[in-house]
Amino acid sequence: MDIQLQHDPAATDDLALIGRAADGDLAAFEALMRRHNQQLYRAARSILRDESEAEDAVQEAWWKAYGHLRDFRAEARPATWLTRIAINEALMRRRRNKTREALIQSAYQSPHEHDPMPTHAPDTEAPASAGPDQMAWRAELRRRLERRIDELPDLYRTVFVLRAVDDMPAAEVALVLGLPEATVRVRFMRARRLLQAALQPDFDPRAAGAFSFAGQRCDRIVAGVLARVRAAGG
């Protein structure tokens, strides 16, 4: 399925970068990573709900993408292909983490215990509040929105992040997640309603600032992937 690939200048530029990177141009591959890191990170984090895990998932996704650059056939936009790889990696990590937690719980729970053990410690870190009042308030609103998004059911969270935070078209989200477009639209609508119910009535959430992608995080992902490529002789 080709989503407006021929009419999308950014997608055309991505194809050129993919072609150069497939021929061993690491500068082109770095440019491709920096262009799409934020979207891949947000998608992975929407599934894993952990910043460190999401970074690792994105690095692994880029490594896998690098190994298959020559296999890309432009059946969808490059951004869609890359996001799908990141989502698949995040889903695999989440399944692996759940399996590990279940094994740990089984090992430490006596045969007579039926209540599940907590899988993580409560978050006790106080949010930072430095800076001018307005900046602090905006930061607090963003944190509140991020927490509420994290609390969305798995069914809705990734759809909401891809649609509202990354502004991905519904048709493209459907392709990435392997869902009918109608299902994507319904889940997005329900996610919005859940968020509106959870937030203050007078707070109109604008999600574009949520899960901001700091330059250092992008640099870490790029450096990690390039080091791995160079170590492999790429």
DSSP string, 149-176: HHHS-HHHHHHHIIIIIS---HHHHHHH
pLDDT, greater one: 203 or 83:
83
pLDDT given for residue 99 in this prediction: 57
Is residue 41 within 8 Å of 210, Cβ to Cβ? no
- The pLDDT of 54-58, averaged and rounded, is 94
**Sequence-distant (≥ 6) Cβ neighbours of residue 141 within 8 angstroms:** 203
Nearest to 41 by CA among 222, 213, 229: 213
Nearest to 47 by CA among 158, 152, 144: 158
Q: Chain-wide mean pLDDT for the chain? A: 78
pLDDT given for residue 213 in this prediction: 66
104 has pLDDT over 80: no
DSSP run (H or E) holding 92: helix 78-108
pLDDT given for residue 233 in this prediction: 80
pLDDT, greater one: 3 or 88:
88
119 has pLDDT over 50: no
Alpha carbon distances (Å) from 23 to 29, 49, 108, 124: 10, 35, 51, 48
Nearest to 211 by CA among 176, 156, 161, 168: 161
Domains of the chain: 9-109+131-231 (1.10.1740.10)
pTM value is: 0.65
Number of neighbouring beta carbons within 10 Å of residue 1: 11
pLDDT given for residue 196 in this prediction: 83
pLDDT, greater one: 34 or 94:
34
